[in-house]
Structures are given as C-alpha cells and as structure tokens.
Structure 1
Amino acid sequence: MSHSNLQLCQLAYDGNIGHIQKLLAENNDLLHKRDQDGRTALHWAASAGNVDITKLLLSHNAKVNVMDDSEWTALMIATSAGRKEVVSVLLNEGADVNSVNRTGQCALHYAASKDHYDIAVFLIENGAHTTVGDWVNATPLHRAASKGLLKMVQLLLINRADVHYTDTEGNSALHVACQDDALDIAKLLIEHGADIHKQNKEKKTPLDYVKPVSRNTLVNAYNSCQIPT
C-alpha cells in the first residue's frame, strides 16, 4: 500500500479536490488502487458524500462498480450513508443497482432499513428489484417492516414487493411486523394480500406474535379483504 494511495483515499473523503487533481495528474492509476479494506478513492468519496470528487474520479475512469473486500460498491456505501446526490451521480454513470455484497444485500436493502426514502425511489426508478433475499433471505420489505417504516413499506408494495416471500426462518414481512406489534404496517401488508394464517418454521402465524388486544383488528382487516365465494 503506497503512501500516495492512502493519501488519495483520505483526500477523497476529506474533499480536497485540488490535491486530488494534482495526484491524478502525476499518476492516474491511483484511481484503481485499494486501501487495507479493498476500498478505492471512489468508495471514500461516496461515503463522505463528496459529489464533485465523485464526478472527478468517474471522469478519470474510476470503475463505478468496483467492490471492496466485503463486496460493497460505492452505490451501496452512498445509499447506506444517505448520500442522495452521490447516489444520483453513480446511477447516471451506470452503477449496478442490483449488485449484492457478501451478505447478499443490495443498495435497496440499506435504503429500506435506514429510511432513506428518496434514495429508495431513485433506486427503484433505476431498476432496483424490490424482492431480493439476503443471506437470511430477508428482503427490503422485511427490513422496512422490522423498522416500522410505514411509508417505505408502502413504496415497496406499490412497486410489487412480494408479501409472501419468507426468510430462512419462514417469516414473511407480516410476521416481522406483528413481532413488533406494528399494526399499521401489518394492516397494509394484509391489504396487499399477506396471509395471517401462514406458518413459519416454528409453526407460528403472524397472529401468534401480536398482543391479544390487536388480534381482532388484524382478523377483521384480513376478513374485509377476502373475496366472497
């Protein structure tokens, strides 16, 4: 690891564009060098939300989809950090919106779990799949439901997130919402077809997780959504 490479990564994070231009004029290959975690200057610029430096690095042919040692791309990092403008730049430069890291998570997982709503909209508009299971088969919908993020859940459902998708424990997003007694989210999921009788691997339905006082509310919501035969 050269001093210049570490310096470039630090400058990209700190936002010193003039010094970066000087280093790249001397050796443009520094763009592709990595730090001890496999991150390039682009990863660091994305992390800090430095839009102009992100644009500069890309204009010098930085690889937009390069992964670090944990298989994080700059897009994942910018999304997780809530760097909306950087996300927009990366997407416009061809960032792979559906790339997954070592834990099987894509950028939308991070937007959903951290309530970065506008970024989630960007990602979906640029082709993000709303139903992608990570290493425990949890989807962005699971993540949003587990955090009690009603507006995010609405966004995902409007964009065809699968309410029936289950994680490795057999839990649907409705199971997750009920575990936290998030009734507004649970009712919304039911309105989009979630099954209150679906059992997970412990043979428990979503109703088994809610407080007794809440069960009738969900049963009534479910019954009102059923089509008479």
Structure 2
Amino acid sequence: MDGDTEVLTHNFMKPPVVVDTFSFHQVISATQHGDVGLVEAALKQGLSPSTTDDDGCSLLHWAAINNRIEVVKLLISYNADTNHIGGVLASTPLHWAARTGLTAMCAILVKGGAVCNIRDVQGYTPMHLAILGNHVPLVAYFLLKFDYAKDISDNSGMTPAMLCAKQSYTMFPLRLIVRAGADLSLKEHFSGNTALHLAASERNKSATM
C-alpha cells in the first residue's frame, strides 16, 4: 500500500474533541489521507496525539496503515506513543505497517521508539506478520534492528524459522534468519516440533536443504 492508493478508514468516531476548528472525525480523515497541514493545526490547537477512536486506534495507527510518512513524522514529533495498542486485534502501529509490508514506514516507527516484541491477540509480533506476508525486505530490516527478532516466538512458540519452514517454499527468508543466528533447536509448544520437523511435515524441501 503506497502513495495515494486505497485509503483505509474508520466510520465510527468519537464525538468532536476539544479542538475549536476541527472535529476529531476531520482529523482522523486528514490523517488517513495525508493532510499534514490540518493534522498539525489540530495538534497546535491542543489535540492530543494519543487521542483514539472507539476501537482504541490512534492517529498513528491510521497514518501508519495508509503509509502517510509525513503525518507519522509529525505525530512522533508531538510525542505520539509508537507502541500504543489498539483495534480489535490489539495491535501497535508497527503491526499495522508490517502486515502490509511497509518497510519505510516501519523504519520511521522504529526510529521513533517502536519495538518488535509486542504480540497482538493472535499472538503475532510484527516480525511474524512480515514473514506471513512474505515481506522479505521487512524481515531483513527487523533482523538488522532487533537482535531478538531472529528467535522471537508467538503464543504457540512458533519462531520466525518455524514459520518460514511451515509457510514459505522459498529459501531466502529462512536463509536470512539462519544467517542472523537463529536457534534451530527451539521447539513449538503444542507438538514439540523444531523448524526442521515442520519443514519435513510440510514437505518444504527448500527449507531442509
């Protein structure tokens, strides 16, 4: 999702918030569409960058998923919480950006303090979402920025190497993770399988080579 492509919006907003000129609905819409001027004006008039909609999604969530880089930079400059958890999946803005493979956006969020070890209600971290979406550049970025990313597990004990072995039929993502020093002896919680066991059970020959 890049540039001015499809805009993801939210239809259920809180009533107007303490801003004289703009309603919160207008600010959310401006955030989603990349109207930096309107968002900045609202912030200068007193709107908190941490204000959320009815689902607990912050302005940073909506700017991140719509790839509004300048809006995200602005919100971070106003001390927006880059690790705020919101939405039905209890996700951070980094989760939202990682799910759609927005590497540049993820880099800005990380620079602003976002971490990669928060799990959503499905048990996934942004690293897991990057692998599930086959966003290889983002996988490489997380490995570079977070040493723990190579072995981070979801709620069932699935590590990045295990996900690659089970889901990916190309060697490249797994090779990146192995080169980063992943522990291939780790076992998932339910059946005690390692990455190699999962690759064999899924007949993922590229992962066993």
CA offsets 1:94-128 (integer angstroms, 9 cap, x no match): 21232222333221111122121211222122124
More helix by share: 1
Question: Matched residues in 1 for 2:98 and 2:50: separation?
Answer: 21
The answer to whether structure 1 residue 160 and structure 2 residue 181 are counterparts is: yes
Q: Which runs of 4+ in 1 moved over 3 A?
A: none
Alpha-carbon deviations, 1:59-101, whole Å to 9, x = none?
A: 1111111111533111121111111111111111121232222
SS at 1:143 equivalent: helix
RMSD across aligned positions (CA): 1.7
Q: How does 1:23-42 map to 2 (within 5 A)?
A: 23-29=42-48, 31-42=49-60
Aligned to 1:170: 192
How much does 1:34 deviate? Answer: 1.1
Match of 1:72 in 2: 91
Q: 1:151 aligns with which of 150, 153, 172?
A: 172
Question: What percent of counterpart residues are identical?
Answer: 24
Q: Look up the SS of the partner of 1:32 in the other structure.
A: coil
Q: Look up the equivalent residue of 2:84 and give its one-letter code.
A: V
Alignment partner of 1:16 is 2:35: yes
CA contact (8 A) 1:108 1:128 kept: no
Does 2:65 align with 1:47? yes
| Higher normalized contact order (CA 8 Å, seq sep 6+, divided by chain length) | 2
Question: Which of 121, 124, 131 is the equivalent residue of 1:105?
Answer: 124
In the superposition, relative to structure 1, how do residues 162 and 28 fare at CA in structure 2: closer, same or farther (>3 Å)?
Answer: same
Q: The residue matched to 1:28 in structure 2 has which SS?
A: coil
Which residue of structure 1 lines up, in the alignment, with residue 157 of structure 2? 137
* 1:178, distance to aligned residue in structure 2 (A): 2.1
Tell me which structure has the larger Cα radius of gyration: 1
1:24, 1:120 → 2: CA distance? 34
CA distance in 2, matches of 1:128, 1:6: 39
Please tell me the residue identity of whatever aligns with 1:171: N
Q: Could you tell me the TM-score, scaled by structure 2's length?
A: 0.81
Corresponding residue number in structure 2 for 1:2: 15
Gaps spanning 5+ residues in structure 2: where? 1-13, 17-22
**Is the 8 Å Cα contact of residues 145 and 173 (structure 1) preserved in structure 2?**
yes
